[in-house]
Amino acid sequence: MAGVIGLQEDVLNVPYDATSYWMYWDRDSMAATSTLAAGVQGDFFTQTNTKTAIQSNFGTNGSLSKGFNVVIFRVRVALVAATGAASVTILDEADVQALSQGLIFELSTDVSNLRMQQPIASLIDPMQGIYTSATTLSTQTQPGTNGLGTLPDFGQISLTSEQAISARIYAPTAISLSTGSLATITFQVALDCKRWSSVN
């Protein structure tokens, strides 16, 4: 099937280097108060040039870096604790569940080719959980099930050097939150990949 490389195909022919694991990540924030309004969205991998190293390691806005090829075999989403007085550390369990079950993740290649569309609850990895040490959230870091987000062989997404890619998390309908003092909610999207580069 075109555009798909199976998990077993880790050995590539010359002139390519052997594959290695690589994770790309990017963070974006969504405006929120007591309601996350319908249509609000976070955009990922398209506006990375002004972000710090902890916010994103995706080098080129909207496309894979030149010289690299990847196969995305897993997508993970994490809710990230923000800095300042208004942060996700004040979300209660019901809010975490409402967000994970009410927001949709989409990943597209070549601008308009939709390759993935899932509720983010199916992509939340308990090993990432919620990035906070708040005691009140110590038991609220597992809105998903371990292992979800892994793509089957026939669903993996291949990208070639400089190919366009974008992702978003958005609210198709308004989501009511019990916390009224929020300013933003920050998510991190992580792409687990097999990556290789051409041999010069």
- % of the chain with per-residue pLDDT over 70: 70
Is 33 within a domain? no
* Cis omega (within 30 of 0) for bond into 172: no
For residue 148, give the amino acid letter: L
CB proximity list for 122: less than 8 A, separation 6 or greater: 144, 148, 149
Secondary structure of the chain: what % helix, strand, coil (to 5)? Answer: 10, 40, 50
Mean pLDDT of the chain: 77
At a CB cut-off of 8 Å and minimum separation 6, what does 110 contact?
163, 164
Per-residue confidence (pLDDT) for residue 125, from 0 to 100: 60
Ranking 50-59, 74-83, 108-117, 143-152 by mean pLDDT, the lowest is 143-152
So what's the pLDDT on residue 148?
A: 58
Q: Is residue 9 part of a domain?
A: no
pLDDT at 81: 63
Residue 45 domain-assigned?
yes
The string of pLDDT tens digits covering residues 18-72 is: 678 899 999 998 888 788 899 999 999 998 888 889 899 998 999 999 988 999 9
Asked if pLDDT for residue 9 goes beyond 60, the answer is no
Assigned domain for 173 exists: yes
**Cα 142 to Cα 88: distance, rounded to the nearest angstrom:** 15
Residue 110, in any domain of the structure: yes
Q: Which residues form the domain of 174?
A: 38-197
- Count of structural domains within the chain: 1
Is residue 193 a part of any domain in this protein?
yes
Residue 177 confidence (pLDDT)? 84
Task: Look at residue 53 and tell me if it is in a domain.
Answer: yes
**How many angstroms separate the CA atoms of 116 and 22, rounded?**
20
pLDDT at residue 159 greater than cutoff 50: yes
Q: Residue holding tokens 């990017």? A: 26
In a domain, 143, yes or no: yes
- Catalogue the long-range contacts made by 46-49 (C-beta closer than 8 Å, 24 or more residues apart): 46/166
